[in-house]
Structure 1
Amino acid sequence: GITKDDVGREGFLAKVWQWKEQSGDSIGNQMRALGDSVDWSRDRFTMDEGLARAVQTVFKRMFDDGLIYRAERLVNWSPELRTAISDIEVKYEEVEGELVSLRYGSLDDNEPHVIVATTRVETMLGDTAVAVHPDDDRYKHLIGTTIYHPITGTQIPVIADDYVDPEFGSGAVKITPAHDPNDFEMGLRHNLPMPNIMDERARITNTGTEFDGMDRFEARVKVRERLAEEGRIVAEKRPYLHSVGHSERSGEAIEPRLSMQWWVKVETLAKAAGDAVRNGDTVIHPASLEPRWFGWVDNMHDWCISRQLWWGHRIPIWYGPDGEVVCLGPNEAPPEGWTQDPDVLDTWFSSGLWPFATMGWPERTADLDTFYPTSVLVTGYDILFFWVARMMMFGVYVAEDDALATRTDGSPKPGPKVPFRDLFLHGLIRDQFGKKMSKSRGNGIDPLDWVSAYGADALRFTLARGAQPGSDLSIGESHAAASRNFVTKLFNATKFALMNGATADPSAVPNLDRASLTDADRWILGRLDEVLLEVDTALDRYEFGKACEALFHFTWDEVCDWYLELAKVQFNSGDEALAESTRSVLGSVLESLLRLLHPVMPFVTESLWQALTGGESVVIASWPQSSGVATDAVAAQRIADTQRLVTEIRRFRSDQGLKDKQKVAARLIGLDTAGLTEQQSAIASLAQLTPPGDDFGATASVEVRLSGTTVTVEVDTSGTVDLEAERRRLEKDLAAAEKELATTTAKLGNEAFLAKAPDAVVEKIRGRKDLAADEVTRLKARLEAMGTK
């Protein structure tokens, strides 16, 4: 119930510092819960003493170099906050307004007049010209003359400017230089007066009309009413949908407003920032975002750095009693009786110094020797211009400073003079429907809620798996739940290994005697090497999503779904030597996998790695290295054939109506030719097959084509399947398939439908027809194989 003015500047700042302590703790607690692996002793805040010193130092240097100046320019003004705001704080929304066409000049059609259209009739109180295109024959006779302003009663000039589109509307536009960015530029080109007709609260002022003192929206109504009374409204269109900038913080429509502000002259700084990427000193990942970078830095306008707020770094400019102006650096005291500029700096000014200010600059420090320039900046593409470009500009500006260009021992620092060598840009996190998360939509996610429900490892893996360079990520609870299942899968795999006596020495993989191992062992070790290379390559390119995807499928699809099942057969073989080598391989593979997954899933991998190895911590373990052993292509092919054979037998069993765990007698013909004799026990175990007895009689068979030959599988389902029940099920499925085939055939035979339907719809129906035809063929063959009733 109180305003900041009620408590005063000092009291207000005290309250903000109090809030910072609370919110800062919350952020730190979230980071810890998420397992952020950072050096907590280096916690910094953009308003702390060290960074304040850096801000003052840079400001003074730029001021002395003529790069910072004060001028009256057009800014985004927030009437609610009563300050200029940055472009990033302006969000454009489609709103329903009105488009009013009104008449300037005489009401007599035979006298000079023009029609203009506007969505903001109140701004006509600040009009200082009407503009037309120089080649527009309709208005050439008016160019250089003046025309009557219907509210102020003054004469304003008619000017010619190429900016005006003669094809849009009437081809004439009103010019309000103090309240429209395009009009401001035109005003500069034509040296027009720029009266500011709104105060800091967006109330009409200084017009000398009855509208002074009105809020801008009230004035909009009243001005329109007066124009209507005078017969000057030619047309009105409402509702008229158009884009309007709104303040992200306070929600109201921003007002372009002429205001005295502090500015940075960016031309040389922006060029240097662009050249740093062009020259390859800094590399953007993904490269597809380079055009966005150049689009901004190559067309950058001078940067408004002052804000009419109390919280922030105070502008270090002091004014004397006789109009003197001085910029003070750190530790410089102002003369007695002088007053400091009341404005504070845009937050991006101080944030832009982050790479080197956090290392102790402007002092020469050991941290700057070691950590500057930084290797990589990871951030969202949405602040590529607002933060990254500022850091680059400041970094190249102060690059020749002794504290950055040389080491503490005075030797020159090698390499390019940039704040970071690699720039990785990730996308935004959106909800499961692709909507941007926001407070107004209520679709934001508190990470601690998902940590509580699914675990920090699951949340981290969800985010990392979706982190494709430059691409947005849509996530919902189902994604976190799937990641939790993956964590559980990894946990159970390691638990299985431990229960079977597996342990691991991190250096064991390269030392395994592969000649004595089974095909399954050699295959999984070869796949580990291949996945390691795939992960390393992806991480080197900052393709975290690809790295996680490779680890997910290797863990779930190959280690858990296949190798663990093959390992069970080897453990149960009764051969202790085989069991021991299996323990070594399984332990080694899981140990390497836990190290590979640790950066993404630190908590569960730490626990499992310690249990598996007895080591101190996976954090200090070395990154896995390739074994250096060539992949055993023969073993890999045999396991691929085994997987295909088992998969086809499982599908064949399903077609025969057998339950998943139901054992069935079978005969496999051609295993020796396929080179799969060693895999016979595994195939039988994984496919739930038993050896054929003396009374074996094949009731069904299938041929499975493998890499070099064909294996025939014969099964005896007599006594294992209720043939009558299975026949009824198949007949029901056949009827449904025949109905689908008839429906899709009829649609595709309908010329009227084909003429109107989109190609994608037609292709989808063709696919359904082909699928139905295959199903009919399969079901009929199955019923025929079962014989007549």
Structure 2
Amino acid sequence: MSELPKTFDPAEIEKRWYQHWESEGLFRPERPNAEPWTLVNPPPNVTGSLHIGHALDNTLQDILVRHARLQGKDARWVVGTDHAGIATQMVVERQLNEKQQKRTDFTREEFVAKVWEWKEESGGAITGQLRRLGCSMDWANERFTMDEGFTKAVLKVFVDLYNQGLLYRDKRLVNWDPGLGTAISDLEVETVEVKGSFWRFRYPLADGSGHIEVATTRPETMLADMAVAVHPEDDRYTALVGKQIKLPITGRLIPIVADEHADPELGSGAVKITPGHDFNDFEVGKRAGFKPGEMLNMLDANAAVTQTADGLIPDEYLGLDRFDARKLVVQRLKELGCLIPHVVKDKEGNETEHDAEPRTIQTPFGDRSNVVIEPWLTDQWYVDAETLAKPAIEAVRSGAINMVPKSWEKTFFHWMDNIQPWCVSRQLWWGHRIPAWYAEDGSVYVAESEAEAQQQAGEGVALQRDEDVLDTWFSSALWPFATMGWPDPGEWEKRYPNSVLISGFDILFFWDARMMMQGLHFLKEVPFKTLYLHGLVRAADGSKMSKSKGNTVDPLGLIDQYGADALRFFMAAMESQGRDIKMDERRVEGYRNFATKLWNAARFCQSNGIGASSSIEPPVADLAVNRWIIAETVACVQAMDLAFADLRFDGAANAIYQFVWSRFCDWYLELIKPVLQGGATNPVGAEPVEAPASDDALRQAQGERIDLGNVSGTFSGDEMREAAGAQGEIAETRAVAGWVLDQILVMLHPFMPFITEELWAKTGTRDYDLIVAKWPMADARALDPDAAREIDWLIELVSEIRAARTEVNVPPGARLPLHVADASALTLARLERQGAALARLARVDVTGGDAPTGGALQVVVDEATYALPIGDVVDLEAERTRLSKAIAAAEKERDSLSKRLENPAFVEKAKPEAVEKARADFADKAAEAERLTAALQRLG
């Protein structure tokens, strides 16, 4: 045991202990015969840095893996990073731009070599930041989605899916990012409200008999219109279905088709259809009989106008940016008399015409390029997600995968039941290059190597490899098994399926569902038994965090200020099965104070000779206070076990918090101070023990518990018995307190690993580090109802007396007589046993006789009434006046708030946070008025 410093310094402790754990291999101790328990981390981008969402996600994972390790399981937390195709390529290209270079100045191989060079020098900074958070990951086996073994798995999956007819090349619409020049996933698209315009045009019928009116927010796409759709039950257009329209500007003849996509209630009820540039129009076009290969594409990869297959776009539009083309199309249609003006009336009834109606438009942007995304018709590689989704749906429906919380299942089923083909190709240089080779005649050969593809094609057939790479979600979908050696024999054989997956709900479909699909398809088993979906960390006002709003929070800054333990505990205590977390720095500070309180409690124990326990089993205890705290410890273990079983991080965190702060620090340590300071025998409720008949018998009976060798002088038998009894109580209390502190350190370790490991090391000589200690047993035999009832009674009585004294401003140092009326024999016996503790904690002296009439506080606990005369220490009249004024003020505010909340105009129109605050204030003022009224009544 070494003395604890007065000040708790998280920074010094965190760095020292993490280096020790990692260097000693304690994140994955050798346990060959133990139950395997496996967790894989959602691989962060190799370009990433720790943000508050990472802090939440990884804190929850670390809590589970540390808990499993303490349970004696062969716990492994698989760690690695994702190659992040788009993000990484952007980083390296920006570095080249700073040197006035660009990617195309190099061959593909040269550029990829530069990316690998960047990765080795600068990539993976987030792994160091995860260490600062305390993540006990298996760093010795860190993986990367582009490493050799992982790449082998990716190639096998691609080739196998292709050979099974589940992966194919097709022409479809994709989210095209003109800034990056690649297709991107839905996850990489951010929809933003943008002020735009809504134009209406007349499209003339080809036979000259009239026109049909259409409206659009994207008039430039009319250069590739292929139809106009009307609802089949819209009587206005029944006679027009099948007729043709001659488009202005291009002169293209297009049909009027019947399709339920057209809503008769919106605009004119007629919708222009551009299947090559709109996802809804693509489906309408297919229903109208257009094959994807026939659909017109009017934009190039940079979103500039290019000639369509029919060659009908006039030269003046070619090469224009899409937004410049928009202006020119509107101008030309206006000149042709096809533009229908938007008429606005002012208050006086005067009319003015405008080219378009102002509209707020939901516009998709690339999350990295900040460029408007274009639905673009192009050839890409697709996975038959509908087929792969069916086993995953059944796994969740049957309970083979336990989704927590269950509320996400409905969303999961809706998305999976309506899943679309998965576009897995990206137009990048960095990533897993698609293993497909093309011959000049258009034949495609898919193989794991070029040699195999050449063998398929035959000698002498020239082959050209596909230029594209795979979507990073394709490779990360293999994470639960490819990280552990699949498809070769390896650790995956005993660790698949994984025990649990922790994930943000925002990647349920992009990562979690795809792991289900690939795992079930290739290994015929679910990838994880439980899927826990947590919410988002939001700003204090509940809004979503974003750099543009300036409301993001740097977790590393919070760690610098308050320590990793405090931030981790905040995350756990606030995580309530999928609900979003509001960032509250004051609560992080509060959990730093909690750590300090534990530190000071350990210092108190150390200064009073309380050290490490020698047994996992609780010590034998006679004193009621010790039997009580043992039972409270076991109850805390039980509560935490239930919370962990249900993945209630908040429940587990709050159970240990309340136990440490209230039961152990505030009450137990206070209750045992008289014992440790050598107070009177039986001050906190030992059961009566018959004394031995002789001094020799007394010494023999106590010899195993205390050492009397330091007692000098001559003592009588009674004095010897009293000294021996006090020493026995001290020894028992030290043993119990040391045992309880040890259990606290173990239970708190998953949440606060650094301070608990430090206290574990400093409070005694240990055979092992806390990180590999043993989780406490919830032994119901240690529960002691009698001791619990007695100490709970004492705590309630002390609390009531303290509250009553505070309410009427009794000076803190004043000692008061305590008169008891109507007490049962049980209560009188308790008062006898707990008199010393009650006197010390409540600053009262139990007094016989009736209480004086008037000027006394009245406290009722169970059947007994306790009176505390205060006339000698408080000006009763002045106190009654003060309380009456305070009651009136509280009632006035309470009633004012009540009227406001009863007003429907306030409740319906005020901001939700204002209504919530008013309700909280009302509850506070109502409680304050009730409490003060009770205090006034106590004065009589």
Distance 1:32 1:767, change over 3 A: closer
- Mapped to 2, the partners of 1:327 and 1:167 lie a distance apart of 50
- Establish whether residue 231 from structure 1 lines up as the match of residue 381 from structure 2: no
Structure 1 residue 331: Cα displacement:
7.9
Structure 1 residue 252: Cα displacement:
1.3
- Establish whether residue 688 from structure 1 lines up as the match of residue 843 from structure 2: yes
1:738 maps to what in 2? 888
Match of 2:498 among 374, 385, 401: 374
Deviations 1:729-755 (A, max 9, x none): 7645634543554576689799x9857
The SS at the match of 2:317 is: coil
Residues 446 and 453 of structure 2 are in contact (CA less than 8 Å); yes or no, is this contact kept in structure 1? no
The SS at the match of 1:676 is: helix
Structure 1 residue 769: Cα displacement:
8.0
- Mapped to 2, the partners of 1:387 and 1:463 lie a distance apart of 23
2:302 maps to what in 1? 201
Deviations 1:587-621 (A, max 9, x none): 11111111011111111111112223421211221
Quick check: 339-348 or 668-677, which moved more?
668-677
Distance 1:769 1:354, change over 3 A: closer
2:866 maps to what in 1? 712
- Establish whether residue 220 from structure 1 lines up as the match of residue 326 from structure 2: yes
1:479 maps to what in 2? 587
2:192 maps to what in 1? 93
- Mapped to 2, the partners of 1:20 and 1:474 lie a distance apart of 35
Which structure 2 segments of 5+ residues have no match? Answer: 1-96, 343-355, 455-459, 681-725, 909-914
- Mapped to 1, the partners of 2:769 and 2:148 lie a distance apart of 37
Quick check: 434-443 or 685-694, which moved more?
685-694
Residues 276 and 375 of structure 2 are in contact (CA less than 8 Å); yes or no, is this contact kept in structure 1? yes
- Mapped to 2, the partners of 1:88 and 1:747 lie a distance apart of 45
- Establish whether residue 279 from structure 1 lines up as the match of residue 431 from structure 2: no
The SS at the match of 2:239 is: coil
Quick check: 478-487 or 180-189, which moved more?
478-487
- Establish whether residue 121 from structure 1 lines up as the match of residue 276 from structure 2: no
- Establish whether residue 605 from structure 1 lines up as the match of residue 756 from structure 2: yes
Distance 1:623 1:157, change over 3 A: same
Distance 1:26 1:503, change over 3 A: same
- Mapped to 1, the partners of 2:272 and 2:635 lie a distance apart of 67
Residues 112 and 147 of structure 1 are in contact (CA less than 8 Å); yes or no, is this contact kept in structure 2? no
- Mapped to 1, the partners of 2:467 and 2:394 lie a distance apart of 36
Distance 1:183 1:60, change over 3 A: same
- Runs of 4+ that moved beyond 6 A: 691-694, 696-699, 746-750, 759-766
AA aligned opposite 2:843 = Q
2:80 maps to what in 1? none
Residues 503 and 587 of structure 1 are in contact (CA less than 8 Å); yes or no, is this contact kept in structure 2? yes
Structure 1 residue 254: Cα displacement:
0.4
Structure 1 residue 542: Cα displacement:
1.7
1:527 maps to what in 2? 632
- Establish whether residue 312 from structure 1 lines up as the match of residue 437 from structure 2: no
Deviations 1:655-691 (A, max 9, x none): 3322334444544554865242222211221112356
AA aligned opposite 1:738 = A
1:500 maps to what in 2? 608
- Establish whether residue 363 from structure 1 lines up as the match of residue 491 from structure 2: no
> Aligned runs of 1:175-214 on 2, under 5 Å?
175-192=273-290, 193-206=294-307, 207-209=312-314, 210-214=316-320
Distance 1:747 1:646, change over 3 A: closer
The SS at the match of 1:480 is: helix
> Aligned runs of 1:611-650 on 2, under 5 Å?
611-615=762-766, 616-629=768-781, 631-650=783-802
AA aligned opposite 1:29 = G
The SS at the match of 1:704 is: strand
Structure 1 residue 235: Cα displacement:
4.0
Number of residues of Structure 1 aligned to a counterpart in Structure 2: 757
Residues 506 and 591 of structure 1 are in contact (CA less than 8 Å); yes or no, is this contact kept in structure 2? no
The SS at the match of 2:363 is: strand
1:517 maps to what in 2? 623
Match of 1:241 among 338, 360, 372: 360
2:530 maps to what in 1? 422
AA aligned opposite 1:712 = Y
Distance 1:436 1:703, change over 3 A: same
> Aligned runs of 1:696-707 on 2, under 5 Å?
700-707=855-862
AA aligned opposite 1:474 = K
Residues 746 and 756 of structure 2 are in contact (CA less than 8 Å); yes or no, is this contact kept in structure 1? yes
Match of 1:349 among 450, 474, 491: 474
Quick check: 678-687 or 435-444, which moved more?
435-444
- Mapped to 1, the partners of 2:103 and 2:824 lie a distance apart of 84
2:380 maps to what in 1? 261
Distance 1:121 1:7, change over 3 A: same
Match of 1:392 among 513, 516, 522: 516
2:233 maps to what in 1? 135
Residues 144 and 158 of structure 1 are in contact (CA less than 8 Å); yes or no, is this contact kept in structure 2? yes
- Establish whether residue 440 from structure 1 lines up as the match of residue 528 from structure 2: no
RMSD, aligned CA: 2.9
- Mapped to 2, the partners of 1:763 and 1:369 lie a distance apart of 56
2:103 maps to what in 1? 4
Distance 1:469 1:331, change over 3 A: farther
- Mapped to 2, the partners of 1:390 and 1:590 lie a distance apart of 45
- Mapped to 2, the partners of 1:331 and 1:755 lie a distance apart of 73
Match of 1:470 among 578, 596, 609: 578
2:5 maps to what in 1? none
Residues 591 and 612 of structure 1 are in contact (CA less than 8 Å); yes or no, is this contact kept in structure 2? no
The SS at the match of 1:287 is: coil
Structure 1 residue 360: Cα displacement:
1.0
Structure 1 residue 78: Cα displacement:
0.2
Residues 815 and 843 of structure 2 are in contact (CA less than 8 Å); yes or no, is this contact kept in structure 1? yes
Structure 1 residue 44: Cα displacement:
0.2
The SS at the match of 2:834 is: helix
2:371 maps to what in 1? 252
1:167 maps to what in 2? 265
Match of 1:660 among 807, 812, 819: 812
Residues 819 and 848 of structure 2 are in contact (CA less than 8 Å); yes or no, is this contact kept in structure 1? no
The SS at the match of 2:744 is: helix
AA aligned opposite 1:291 = K
- Mapped to 1, the partners of 2:122 and 2:813 lie a distance apart of 56
- Establish whether residue 66 from structure 1 lines up as the match of residue 173 from structure 2: no
- Mapped to 2, the partners of 1:27 and 1:581 lie a distance apart of 49
Which structure 1 segments of 5+ residues have no match? Answer: 401-416
AA aligned opposite 1:232 = C
- Mapped to 1, the partners of 2:497 and 2:899 lie a distance apart of 68
1:405 maps to what in 2? none
1:19 maps to what in 2? 118
Deviations 1:464-503 (A, max 9, x none): 2222222222223212211111111111111111111112
- Mapped to 1, the partners of 2:897 and 2:119 lie a distance apart of 66
1:414 maps to what in 2? none
Structure 1 residue 705: Cα displacement:
2.4
Quick check: 48-57 or 759-768, which moved more?
759-768
AA aligned opposite 1:304 = C
Distance 1:730 1:18, change over 3 A: farther
Distance 1:235 1:644, change over 3 A: farther
Relative to the length of structure 1, the TM-score reads: 0.90
- Mapped to 2, the partners of 1:66 and 1:299 lie a distance apart of 20
Distance 1:45 1:137, change over 3 A: same
Quick check: 157-166 or 472-481, which moved more?
472-481
Distance 1:733 1:665, change over 3 A: closer
- Establish whether residue 82 from structure 1 lines up as the match of residue 195 from structure 2: no
